[in-house]
Structure 1
Amino acid sequence: MAGERVHHRTYSVDVAAPAGVVYALIADTTRWPLFLPSSIHVERLDFDGVQDRFQTWAEVDGSVRSRLFRRTLDAGARRIDFCQEVPAGPALCLGGRWTVEATAPGRSRLALEHELTVDGGRPRDAARLVHATDTAAAAELAQLKTTAERWDRLEALLLSFEESVRVKGPAELVYDFLCGIADWPGRVPHVLRAEVAEERPGVQSVRTQTRSGGGRVRTAETVRVCFPHAFRIVSKETAPGEPLAAHTTEWSVLPGERDVTVLAQHQVLLRDNPGTGPGTGPGTAAARAHVRDLFGGQSNTVLTLAKQHAETAVRTL
């Protein structure tokens, strides 16, 4: 097409980790929200081990954007080719590849290539897109390097757990309570404030203040992506404090024959060397116990209140 211009961008970083470890990090997109700061959520749509189709929500220039990707994985060659299905203007086509090369025992080189076809009639927009792509690539490579180089202790820093409750009430009422976080102050005891902005339907930017059992007040900034038809809400803290490096949560309502099951599932990546504050004692054991008790207890409170909300409404109908 006349006026098109193709940009080829290549980035690389040397990593003090085995090539197989590095490849595994980029192959499993479902864990990107823990490992990449800009990644909010990844929804895998189809995967057969080689062909991968998924939707991402990520922070770009202060805004949360959703994108749809296809990938082809070649584990033997440690190569992943990808393309964005419907790129936003001025990009007409956006694709590329990840490759991992072993350079020495326990060392590797991670490379990312981008191929961008842009609208030649919008040079300023194209320049901004190339700059944004360069900035995002540099940040991704730096974070993946940091994560991969902790591979021998990564499992000790990862923590997952869930809380659940059974509800004799409709899934819609439970979901409405979970989605309506702006109404939690005054209804949920530990939530002191909740400021909610919704720049587009289903994507909530939330700033909360909560009080822990010890009376400590914690401020958190969170992005929540809501799926009302599936009765799911996924969220990620965008500026986690000690001892957290990353924290994601999924609230889900699973309808049954006579009742529903409500889950709060947490995924946490702890900081490698926690500083001062709750849960920052020697090693990671204190941090794991603190995080489990804090978020587990708060989730149980929310689930119990959602149960009461749904069951009380049913009895009064």
Structure 2
Amino acid sequence: MPTLNHDTVQHTVPVTAPAPLVFDLLADLGSWPHFHGPSVHAEPIGVDGHGQRFRHWWVIDDHTVRTWEASWQFAREQLRIGYEFAPHQPGAAGVRGSWTVHPSSDTTAQVRWEQTVVGEGSHDAAGAEREMRELLDAVRSAAEHDEERRDLVVDFEDPLFVAGPVEAAYEYLYEADKWPERIPHVSRLVLEEKVPNIQFFDMDTHTPDGSPHTTRSVRICLPNHRILYKQIHLPKLLDGHTGHWSFTPTREGFILGARHTAVIKPSALSILGPDTTVLDARRYLRRVLSANSMSNLRLAKAYAEERQDG
């Protein structure tokens, strides 16, 4: 990555994909967790004089999440995305940058990232360069394998109406350390929460067909709104798995939703049998993930409605 001076860095990568597709992947901050390992969630938090504000959560290692805020400007006609870190971000005040997608042909493009540090304050320029290089590589891979990637992604949400308080259902799902006592398919769970509302846990589960799984996940808990998760140590069949529990109030109660976005690992299809196809794996995942989710939804519903009756 060429460094222009001590305040500005720049990096350009070629992508064998149409420029609008590359731009859309970069601009859809909510989709980054599906193809970029460190990304866990981007939450819209309003608008300011610099653009749309988002709070971001990125995994740094198996025990650490970095939270940061930035304002974003999306100019699709120019295929340009600008950003500026929030002034109160430690070590990042005065950091702004951009991504610009330049079409090389109808099916190829160049993506240029540039970031500038203005004003005083410390900033980990080497770390930023490394992270942006990793992000650009992830975007390039996602764009160049877009059709195959879409075929491998199983994305769905199961909803269930609950006639009880949101707070009770949220409590039930937030208290993951109690799941082995509450949820039949969870046999072990070790939880750590060093920072409030950011959880890591190791969990042993079994699917309805009896298959055991051990995973490690990170969760971002937004009280009484959503609990978002990303598996960072995955089952053998998957290349990725993210999702959330959502709590949507209605006049009569609320809708409790369980969302999954799972990415099939093509090289692991034989786990399900020697002649397993991608479609077979999609059907299997849709069935087993939904079965476990619906079980959890019903248990959370019963817990909340018992509190309502009481």
Q: Same fold (TM over 0.5)?
A: yes
Aligned-partner residue type, residue 135 of structure 1: R
Q: 1:233 aligns with which of 227, 230, 238?
A: 227
Structure 1 position 197, deviation (Å): 0.8
Choose from 173, 179, 202 the match for 2:174. 179
1:138 to 133, 136, 139: 133
In the alignment, structure 1 residue 293 sits paired with structure 2 residue 287? yes
> Does 2:196 align with 1:201?
yes
- Cα 1:184/1:53, change in 2 over 3 Å: same
Q: Secondary structure at the match of 1:185?
A: helix
Shift of 1:117: 4.0
CA deviations on 1:121-169 (whole Å, 9 max, x unpaired) are x6xxx4xx12211221121111111111012333322322112222222
- Counterpart position of 1:253: 247
1:166 is matched with which residue: 150, 161, 164? Answer: 161
Looking at structure 2, the residues matched to 255 and 226 of structure 1 have their Cα atoms a distance apart, in angstroms, of 17
Corresponding residue for 2:56? Answer: 56
The 1-side partners of 2:20 and 2:274 are apart by 31
CA deviations 1:234-260 (Å, max 9, x no partner) are: 111123234322222111222333333
Q: 1:310 to 1:45 in 2, by over 3 A?
A: same
**How many Å separate the matches in 2 of 1:28 and 1:211?**
33
- Determine the structure 1 residue equivalent to 2:71: 70
Structure 1 range deviating more: 303-312 or 34-43: 303-312
Spell out the pairing of 1:95-134 with structure 2 (5 A cutoff): 95-117=96-118, 119=120, 126=123, 129-134=124-129
TM-score, normalised with respect to structure 1: 0.87
- CA-atom RMSD, angstroms? 2.4
TM-superposed deviation, 1:198: 0.8
SS of residue matched to 1:91: coil
* 1:262 and 2:256 are equivalent in the alignment: yes
Shift of 1:273: 4.6
- Over 3 Å counting, the alpha-carbon distance change for 1:257 and 1:76 in structure 2 is closer
Does residue 46 of structure 2 align to residue 14 of structure 1? no
Residue identity in the other structure for 2:72: R
Instruction: List alignment gaps of at least 5 residues for structure 1.
Output: none
The CA distance in 1 between the partners of 2:273 and 2:225, in whole Å, is 33
2:200–2:218 contact (8 Å) kept in structure 1: yes
Give identity over the alignment, percent. Answer: 27
2-side partners of 1:28 and 1:145: how far apart?
Answer: 14
- Residue 214 in structure 1 maps to residue 209 in structure 2: yes
Letter in 2 for 1:102: P
Structure 1 pair 282–21 and aligned structure 2 pair: CA distance change class (3 A): farther
Q: Which residue of 2 aligns with 1:311?
A: 305
Aligned to 1:86: 87
- Please state how far the C-alpha of 1:61 moved relative to its aligned partner: 5.2
Alpha-carbon distance between aligned partners in 2 of 1:74 and 1:161, rounded to the nearest angstrom = 30
Task: Give SS of 1:17's match.
Answer: coil
Aligned residues: 304
Distance 1:269 1:47, change over 3 A: farther
Is the Cα–Cα contact under 8 Å of residues 168 and 311 in structure 1 kept in the other structure? yes
CA contact (8 A) 1:198 1:205 kept: yes
Given the two structures, how large is their TM-score scaled by the length of structure 2? 0.89
The answer as to whether partners of 1:43 and 1:56 remain within 8 angstroms in 2 is: yes
